[in-house]
């Protein structure tokens, strides 16, 4: 009888752990968009998502054009890009949200959702980026945002499935193949 109770307790503990791990999704987050409105990640259920930290004065800034092209090409196929401006690397995003929005629109015609400027590293790291970079929170792996235009790929269940460094272009065959799967 005692053994059955112990097994039941262990099943409950491990079952709860598995359920908790299965709930590690981006859908728990609400963030501020670049216009000051609330953006609820739960609205992206069923879509593949690329989250990318951006900057207007970076050597990788031309990736905005490729991001926009990929977004236009696949937005009707349950894919979305979400941009997060950040000034964490080399003071390469010094402007206000309004400045960033204007820059993105005028120079690259950005139509994918852009969020308010945030911290993607350090003690003030935004909770979403804590989730993206910490295995204990995302259930995938630990990572570090190393520079502007690092990409996090999120599957249609809201789970992190890949991290791509800045030098991996948005139209890289691995990313495009993933979108098309």
Distance CA(179)–CA(109), nearest Å, equals 22
- Residue carrying the six token digits 């789970």: 159
- Residue carrying the six token digits 């139509």: 111
Q: How far from the centroid of its chain's Cα atoms is residue 121's Cα?
A: 14
Which of 58, 116, 154, 175 is the catalytic position? Answer: 58
Q: Is 104 annotated as catalytic?
A: no
Distance CA(30)–CA(40), nearest Å, equals 4
How large is the greatest C-alpha to C-alpha distance in the chain, in angstroms? 72
Q: 15: which 2 tokens?
A: 């079952």
For 170, the 3-state DSSP assignment is coil
Q: Catalytic positions, please?
A: 58
């Amino acid at each position: 009888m005692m053994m059955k109770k112990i097994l039941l307790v262990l099943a409950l503990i491990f079952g709860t752990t598995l359920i908790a791990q299965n709930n590690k999704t981006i859908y728990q987050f609400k963030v501020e968009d670049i216009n000051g409105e609330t953006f609820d990640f739960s609205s992206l259920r069923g879509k593949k998502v690329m989250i990318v930290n951006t900057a207007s004065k970076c050597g990788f800034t031309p990736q905005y054009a490729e991001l926009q092209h990929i977004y236009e090409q696949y937005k009707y196929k349950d894919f979305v890009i979400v941009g997060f401006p950040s000034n964490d690397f080399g003071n390469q995003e010094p402007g206000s949200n309004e400045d960033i929005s204007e820059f993105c629109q005028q120079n690259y015609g950005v139509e994918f959702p852009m969020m308010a400027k945030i911290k993607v590293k350090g003690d003030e790291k935004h909770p979403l980026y804590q989730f993206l970079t910490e295995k204990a929170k995302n259930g995938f792996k630990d990572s570090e945002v190393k520079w502007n235009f690092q990409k996090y790929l999120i599957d249609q269940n809201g789970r992190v499935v890949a991290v791509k460094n800045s030098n991996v272009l948005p139209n890289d065959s691995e990313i495009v193949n993933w979108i098309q799967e």
